[in-house]
Structure 1
Amino acid sequence: MHLRALILAALLALGTGLTHPAGDLLQEALKLLETHYFGYAQPDFKALGERYGRELEQLCASNPECGFEAGRSVVARLVRGIGDGHTYFLSPERYRQSLDRFAGRVDPTPIYGISMVGFFDGRVLIGDIRPQSAADVAGVRPFDRVVAVGGESLRSLEDFRNRINTDQPVRLSLLRGAQGAEQHLELTLRRQPYTLPVLPTLYAPSGAPQGVFVLRIPDFAVYKQVGPRVHALVREAQGKGARAIVIDLRGNSGGEETECESAPGAFVGNFALEMRTKTATVPFGYADGAVLGNDPKDPNPPYRLEQPARFSGKVAALINGSTASCGEIMAYVLQHFGKVPLIGQRTVGVMNTATEFWPLSDGSAIAITYVRTFKTTGEPLPEFVTPDVEMPYEPEVIARTGRDPMLEKALEVLGIR
């Protein structure tokens, strides 16, 4: 064995003995993971340290000043090697973006306030609409299909983005509703500065019976804003005579535990679960308008809603293969405690754990699974949510026909005609 290899082996503690910035970063990451990881994978951190220490040693062989950039690439592979979808590496830029997202900080650059699902058959399918954004004020709705900009048809999603990349007003030609009975709309909008975070929206879907509303929840990221807004929108729906609400959790990537505790309370009332770390157990649930707990590392305290809602009409929810984390918790609570039928696809499969960010010295971070979620009986929650009615999410069908089969199935299950 070469002398350098002997020294490396002698210095291994958590698997590395590398004495440069990249090696320091790897050792720092290993220590955090070994200290805090509480997921269901069973990683051998010493073996992982040895493996990725050797990899970094080879990467840095010709550069004794091996810097953070090389370390990040190896740390990222190390974290992936654990095999836990809730534990992942964040580059400095992605970590800053994640902190901004969870804090509700918004880039003040003017926007339209729309997301695009994709481009299908010459049409851009609109996804989420930010409340009070330029698109919202102009009257754009989720699942509208853009067929032209300024009277000219579209060639691709990139073509659409390029055509609306202007501070001048743009005229969108839209289709809304089912093929054969769709509305043809011409809406003009101009992007504007926007300061609200991503929040839930409520709308009456085109062609649905009177009194049917969709509550769209894109994520649960922002503390004390998503849950209270869900309750406010439920009260709004009740004021408009709602007899059924379909909760759309498709693509919901999760967020703050407090928000996926308070939001389902508007539909199921009180419920109780619990969260456990290596050293603590805390309540997780909702009781008469109060959020019962939060994960122990989160500095945001539980809170009480000022005006809790309780919907007494019919409720269903839509989920798909991208519904994750807090989105899965919401779906589970609806199904398990409220007997709310779930329509769609099996979820991602990280429901029974929660994650937190641990920063590294170079400005990057690791999201580490450090909480497990349990029933009050001590039984762990399942990994994923299984729908009551399984069917695919096919946005291309919505773009082509103007019909949302999952929404239609939800209304059928609820007996809404």
Structure 2
Amino acid sequence: MRPVVLAFVLLIQLVRASPASDLLQQAIGELRTHYYGYSVVDWDALAEQSGRELAQACTGQPQCGVEEAARIIARLVRNIGDGHTFYLSRERYQQILARFAGKPDSRPVYGITIPAYADGRVLISEVLPQSAADLAGVRPYDRVEAVNGMPLTGLEDFRARINTDQPVRLTLLRGEERLQLTLSRQPYSLPVLPTLYAPGGLPEGVLVLRIPDFAVYQQIGPRVHQLVLEAQARGARALIVDLRDNSGGEETECSSAPGAFVGNFALEMRTKSVAVPFGYADGAVLGNDPKDPNPPYRLNQAARFTGQVAVLVSPGTASCGEIMAYVLQQFGGIKVIGQRTAGVMNTATEFWPLADGSAIAITYIRTFKANGEALPAFVTPDVEMAYEPEAIARTGRDAMLEKALEVMGIR
């Protein structure tokens, strides 16, 4: 009997037919069929060990439920040791699908991200365009020191104070300037999109292009080109592309967006059975993930920035975020500032749904240079520098932005 068959027979013998055993068999089958990452996996041993674990977990249960299998699947996927291969609960899978579809969140929100607190100040790192915070005048890297006139004691204190449908008055620091802004949370109907802004204290003509992720098809890349055109219309002489903690997204978006800075470039994606182009040429996206139903597209209006550019990354910059930084660095000679990135640049992932509504993200693409050489896993910055949100909250100074100015020779 072939080893693969024997492994599954063993699993079935150890755990009588049940929703749990069915789910575990499905998960292992999907992984065995589609995984194309760089981790070396003995699938037969994995199936046998997982079957034994499920048998032990189900001992004494007349009908073993899928929750037992889900715990084992999550652990076995984690043990593969591949950052692009992971388990998603039913709830998390639905959240991810909604994010990639750009579906609005029906809950009222302010539209801010708050990563750090220090010395009585909460740092706002992200402001969603057209959100309640944006419309009230809040900007990325503003620091909140009071809500309704009362000082803050931490992130949880801040969250509790603004957890209301009544208007809240924020006392903000923007550089050395102190501001009072009033806002009320509102339902947000737009996808998470890039923003263009001028932080306090930057020289005239220097703007920051913040790209939080590349999740929404045919939205992020075109938006980047639109904002670059806007920057040029505003007379920008330099752009700082902020990819810190950018978690990735759609391949079409991280192939179209770099074109606004480097023009044409070409890479290649390969599955076990097919190779497809991955790049940008004269305003058009070249190829896409073979499993993705969304086709490549052409931009209505492509941009090409000719001023100075620097890129900011962090250990949380992953996947498509890494691709963007790498292309700007390698094809455009643009300096990257920060720390080594997450380390999943040389692969891509796709979701395979399971019978209980959960899913497994499986690494099924490897990414290569045009000459056939595999891409590195990480982006290695030209200038090593830590991203320290707590220090920004404390001092109001973003040392990475300051370093970007220095690298570009701007005073």
TM-score scaled by length of structure 2:
0.97
Question: How far apart, in 1, do the equivalents of 2:397 and 2:282 lie?
Answer: 38
**C-alpha distance 260-277 of structure 1, shift in aligned 2 (>3 A):** same
Match of 1:207 among 201, 205, 216: 201
Q: Which runs of 5+ in 1 are unaligned?
A: 1-8
Matches within 5 A, 1:19-58: 19-58=17-56
Counterpart of 2:118 in structure 1 is 120
SS in 1 for 2:125: strand
Deviation at 1:64, TM superposition (A): 2.9
Deviation at 1:75, TM superposition (A): 0.5
Match of 1:187 among 181, 185, 193: 181
Question: How far apart, in 1, do the equivalents of 2:104 and 2:45 lie?
Answer: 41
Match of 1:387 among 368, 375, 381: 381
Query: Deviation digits for residues 7-56 of structure 1, max 9, x if unmatched?
Result: xx996338621321111111000000000000001100110111111011
Question: How far apart, in 2, do the equivalents of 1:261 and 1:14 lie?
Answer: 45
Query: Deviation digits for residues 293-313 of structure 1, max 9, x if unmatched?
Result: 111000000000000000000
Counterpart of 2:109 in structure 1 is 111
Matches within 5 A, 1:192-271: 192-271=186-265
Counterpart of 2:279 in structure 1 is 285
1:66 corresponds to which letter in structure 2?
Answer: C
1:236 corresponds to which letter in structure 2?
Answer: E
Match of 2:300 among 292, 297, 306: 306
Would you say the 8 A contact 1:217–1:249 is kept in 2? yes
Q: Higher mean Cα deviation, 269-278 or 192-201?
A: 192-201
Question: How far apart, in 1, do the equivalents of 2:138 and 2:122 lie?
Answer: 13
Question: How far apart, in 2, do the equivalents of 1:12 and 1:256 lie?
Answer: 36
Counterpart of 1:322 in structure 2 is 316
Question: How far apart, in 1, do the equivalents of 2:258 and 2:326 lie?
Answer: 10
Query: Deviation digits for residues 156-199 of structure 1, max 9, x if unmatched?
Result: 2111111111111110000111xxxx001000011112100111
1:94 corresponds to which letter in structure 2?
Answer: R
SS in 2 for 1:110: strand
Counterpart of 1:83 in structure 2 is 81
Counterpart of 2:64 in structure 1 is 66
1:60 corresponds to which letter in structure 2?
Answer: C
Are residue 335 (structure 1) and residue 329 (structure 2) matched? yes
SS in 2 for 1:398: helix
Are residue 411 (structure 1) and residue 409 (structure 2) matched? no
Counterpart of 2:141 in structure 1 is 143
**C-alpha distance 245-22 of structure 1, shift in aligned 2 (>3 A):** same
Question: How far apart, in 1, do the equivalents of 2:96 and 2:10 lie?
Answer: 29
2:199 corresponds to which letter in structure 1?
Answer: P
SS in 1 for 2:171: strand
Query: Deviation digits for residues 111-133 of structure 1, max 9, x if unmatched?
Result: 11111112211111001100011
1:385 corresponds to which letter in structure 2?
Answer: V
Query: Deviation digits for residues 197-224 of structure 1, max 9, x if unmatched?
Result: 1110000111111000000000000000
Would you say the 8 A contact 2:141–2:199 is kept in 1? no
Question: How far apart, in 2, do the equivalents of 1:53 and 1:222 lie?
Answer: 38
SS in 1 for 2:209: strand
Counterpart of 1:365 in structure 2 is 359
Q: Which runs of 5+ in 2 are unaligned?
A: none
Question: How far apart, in 1, do the equivalents of 2:351 and 2:144 lie?
Answer: 38
Counterpart of 2:345 in structure 1 is 351
2:347 corresponds to which letter in structure 1?
Answer: T
SS in 1 for 2:59: coil
Deviation at 1:99, TM superposition (A): 0.3
Deviation at 1:80, TM superposition (A): 0.9
**C-alpha distance 410-10 of structure 1, shift in aligned 2 (>3 A):** closer
Question: How far apart, in 2, do the equivalents of 1:291 and 1:272 lie?
Answer: 10
Would you say the 8 A contact 2:113–2:124 is kept in 1? yes
Counterpart of 1:400 in structure 2 is 394
SS in 1 for 2:216: coil
SS in 1 for 2:280: strand
1:260 corresponds to which letter in structure 2?
Answer: C
Question: How far apart, in 1, do the equivalents of 2:83 and 2:197 lie?
Answer: 33
**C-alpha distance 161-49 of structure 1, shift in aligned 2 (>3 A):** same
Q: Higher mean Cα deviation, 114-123 or 364-373?
A: 114-123
Would you say the 8 A contact 1:15–1:46 is kept in 2? no
SS in 2 for 1:16: helix
SS in 1 for 2:221: helix
Would you say the 8 A contact 1:14–1:31 is kept in 2? no
Counterpart of 1:5 in structure 2 is none
Are residue 12 (structure 1) and residue 10 (structure 2) matched? no
**C-alpha distance 320-15 of structure 1, shift in aligned 2 (>3 A):** farther
Deviation at 1:275, TM superposition (A): 0.2
Deviation at 1:153, TM superposition (A): 0.4
Residue identity over aligned pairs, in percent, reads 71
TM-score scaled by length of structure 1:
0.96
